Structure 1
């Protein structure tokens, strides 16, 4: 169906732009992937941009669907509703370096378009201001901006948009032309592009997004001919050939790409930026108002995740190994491809879980209620495992520093140790479930870290004394439901409190619920919770384990 041009930048224009941008990136995705040589030649920039815009478009469609479901077909969602949804959808769905930057650009636009100057719609001037904020916000989000990248293309688009006069269509055309001109110059600014004879892949994707903006306001899509890229000698090369001679993934750079969403305050994120900047490169932290998307390239993926844990609550953790053939080591040197003996050492809170972990092949350290193990006990457990490679699961946020001290001590003895910052035994179960001793150590650690990070955890316990909590004042004997370490529910009945906690966790989605029953848990609680999951949440599975004397009445994990 033909696209009806929009006169102003309103909610309908936002909806149309997202749809057209998604179509444009869908057509250009393979081409953009093929010319992706910076910052890592991993051939996924086009795909990452597409997935980012797909998430933004879905969020905007949800706003329109919700408005119609409420019976309010006129006048429809406001511009503020639509751009906030667009920015939020892009933030939570951002993939890769370029996708994360694009998400910040959309957030910058939203900040302008939700202001008092644009209560219902924006004209050409408002669109120009929004594009300027988009470019500035993106540049500020990157720890070390590099010219010849999407940042340069965004700045050129903003400059052209600000200088243009006329309606939104005229401003969009100017922004697109400015971006195209800047994109053509990127090989002159970035040596890796010049050597490969390509333009910047992220900038190429932004040109497609801006072409969709032109089509939104004019009904005409500019013809961007980038299917063949001009090399330095003036000859033409196919995109699939353009990465020849470019640095391969994993060569001369960090081994892993780490991305996660993070719930944290501004001060904690400022500290996180400093720490991650010291760990790796390609650092981009975008977002605000308590929700952030963190992207970084590092050699120590576990350290990057642990930094997020210290800053707030990381989730939707995605870790990608650049160049699976490369081995990146810490501690002792190992021969490339050698499959060294490996062990998992885990701290567990009860005898039941100790048996479960032992059956899965782990060496366990029992942590009785009120008696956390010392670093010396963890060192002895690692030695007892008799392995040259060890994955350490502390399974308790309070044991993070203890486990780190133990890891440093055994590394000095020539043992290769990876500390995965699990904060609950259910996160450890998730990590252990994907553990494969036969694969390379780095790959195993990546899989285990990702599984643990994707698992939300909760516990149901009984208050020992009156105290202040995040959910209010509790009295001794009250049943407490803690989600990710904070009291979320205060109740009188164990089963009812557990149901409330489970509903709260599954409201954010999930595929697998893990229940670990303590000695004091009611006999019927597992059956009640299994029934609740089966009847209320389709396609969600449940597994139940006996935790024994683990302290808490119930542990809950949601993957």
Structure 2
């Protein structure tokens, strides 16, 4: 049984409730949420409405919250305001996809609610959730009900009512989780496409799972799983709440070593050991912030000291080490200060204007570069870049002004968040597809101002119609079509217009739907898995059927989509 569970059992027996949450507990609860979320990533991805191989809501949310967890993992402060602020920053930097960005904004609002508070009761936590919902709604230009936004808004509203009736955090979170589940269950009634496909909103489901993980952590349930670290490697993470209640606020104690260990007492030491005796020994070494918890033959110790080796020597005479660590608090203190790094500045000696685009596939990336794009971020469907990726790209190009082409509707919000992290004239063109991005690049003039370039690019988007061909990952009925797993489906903007076992036939049907009497240029970009003979067949079909239209074909080498098509 973990020390935390022992503690919880004793507090229950004494009828003691957890009525206050500090930064250490908040960090532990969020870490528990991350660990539990990891187990459910693929399930959340499977809730994608379209039956295409790009369901990445779970992946985006997971990478976002891992970034937040990593941001606070080395912080030792127990100040709730400090921890929540840095968590918010980590989520912002790692935000990917619409779901990840909205989630980051929820926790940004929560951080604003916790600002200047070292601890929170259930009422303050509820107000934080309410603020989180408000900030999230403001971050989206056209909020859609039946999504994660609805779930957080309705949950926060219920949380305020719940907090008036209980100051026990465990009871509070239990009821908040139930409120979130009820709101999630209603999302198909608010968004018809969810009901048509028979799923709940994937982003809302992700939020519910995060809350559920936080509750599991509060209850002391062990969560032992593998999570994706910042470098993409898999590492084991075991949630350990046994240090609950330790005072790690180093604001006035930023020197020495934060030393922690667990020992199993020798049989002979059990007869004479006492917490008070050990505390006096640690105090003799100028130890402070001392916390000692013992249960039978197990002793957990936390101390700040300039002499960690001598502390370990004393402990070694009592028993064998189960765990031990000692961290330089001055180094951690410096790391905390680094979190307030200045924003990226414009480079007066750099290019006047640089364009940064998001694209997947070497052929597509080369198309953008040939049109004058300074930097291409590898990404798109199934690989949404984070806000931090955009910040790094802006630093790399070192320009006076920057234009960003997201080229995917699920990347626009992450790109927009970049404005908060840089101090440079920046325009985000809301390109939702690769064809729109390429059309925008045609209007790029490196000598114009960023405002004029943005105006020309935005106007260009109005004349582009985008299509794509991919394969179905499941059986479904949608947009009046019966779709079988493995069928090639043609999508005109957001509507599935064709489904066929033949790639060529499905593509032809899509082209017939997209090309009208006003069409002047048709561009076909072949994907990495598309055979040359199929591309040639499509080209010949277009030339024969539309002799007066300019036809262009390129080898984009993009994944997921066999063809990307634009009609201008």
- Determine if the TM-score, normalized by the shorter chain, exceeds 0.5: no
For the pair shown, the structure with the greater C-alpha radius of gyration is: 2
Structure number with greater CO (CA < 8 Å, separation at least 6) is 2
Range class of TM-score, shorter chain: 0.3 to 0.5
Give me the TM-score of the superposition, normalised by structure 2. Answer: 0.37
Give me the TM-score of the superposition, normalised by structure 1. Answer: 0.38
